[in-house]
Amino acid sequence: MHGMDLGTMWASMGPIPKGVVFVLLFMSIYSIAVGVERIYVYSKAKKQSRILLQRIGELWQEGKIAESIKESSDKKFKNSHLAKVLIAGLNELEFQEDQKSAYSEKVESAKRAIERATIKGLVEFRRGLNGLATIGSTGPFVGLFGTVFGVITAFQGMATAGSAGIGAVAAGIAEALITTGFGILVAVIAVMFFNFLLNKVDIFTGEMANASSELIDHYIKKRTGA
């Protein structure tokens, strides 16, 4: 009976199960890389947005659109999700002011610009998440694919040796099940990252909606003198 250590199992694996292991290894590296990269991006966006809101809060109250645009456009806020939507809204308001547009048109144009910027920002935030979702759902099946071929190889070996009984195939089945276990592990990692990151995106979506709504409210109050 073969030894049950990982080195022996790997040596006795067929080419297809080994290929499956390499595919699962790539999937796990991709999941971890995307997860870590997204967490870093989200962290920078959160930090920069918090600082930005503190700096332009007073400018909003005073109705200083040009100064708000300048502050939001600063390179140190280039990763801020709030800066992107606020710049879009502020630029549109300034443009409509220059065009002497009607008050209602100014507000609606600013809202549309903010919506476009929000959608663009969400697309960027969701980059890589579809890949994590795909790996989370397909990882166990990829592992099972390798297991099926491993079990077939084990039974073929039993038939060739002319022996019977569970003892003759126990080692082979154990080797085959490695890919299933690895596939489940890869899927768990991907799903955990996906759920964590998706929750962050939902939070950012709410923050962008609140910030843009507050911008429009400040503009309306300024025009109505409220």
Q: Is the pLDDT of residue 200 over 80?
A: yes
CA separation, residue 109 to residues 59, 69, 113, 153 (Å): 21, 17, 6, 66
Q: Is residue 212 part of a domain?
A: yes
- DSSP state for residue 187 in the 8-state scheme: H
Q: Is residue 12 part of a domain?
A: yes
Closest CA relative to residue 127, chosen from 70, 209, 194? 194
Asked if 52 and 82 count as a contact pair (C-beta separation under 8 A), the reply is yes
Burial (Cβ within 10 Å: 0-12, 13-18, ≥19) of residue 225: exposed
Average pLDDT value for residue range 184-195: 96
Residue range of the domain that includes 47: 6-224
Low-confidence winner among 40-44, 61-65, 188-192 (lowest mean pLDDT): 61-65
Average pLDDT value for residue range 98-126: 87
Q: Is the pLDDT of residue 189 over 80?
A: yes
Q: Can you tell me the distance from the alpha carbon of 20 to that of 151, in angstroms, rounded to the nearest whole number? A: 14
Q: Can you tell me the distance from the alpha carbon of 27 to that of 53, in angstroms, rounded to the nearest whole number? A: 38
- Which pLDDT value is given to residue 78? 84
Amino acid at 87: I
Average pLDDT value for residue range 140-156: 82
Q: What is the pLDDT of residues 156-167, one digit of tens each?
A: 766 666 555 555
Q: Is residue 1 part of a domain?
A: no
Give Cα 119 to chain centroid, integer Å. 15
Low-confidence winner among 1-15, 73-87, 127-141 (lowest mean pLDDT): 1-15
Q: Is residue 69 part of a domain?
A: yes
Residue holding tokens 């663009």?
A: 120
Give Cα 99 to chain centroid, integer Å. 40
Angle between helices 15-61 and 81-98 (to 10 degrees): 50
How many domains would you assign to the chain? Answer: 1
Q: What's the pTM value of the predicted model, to 2 decimals?
A: 0.80
Q: Is residue 129 part of a domain?
A: yes
Q: Is the pLDDT of residue 212 over 70?
A: yes
- Which pLDDT value is given to residue 2? 46
Report which of residues 23 and 177 the model is more confident about: 23
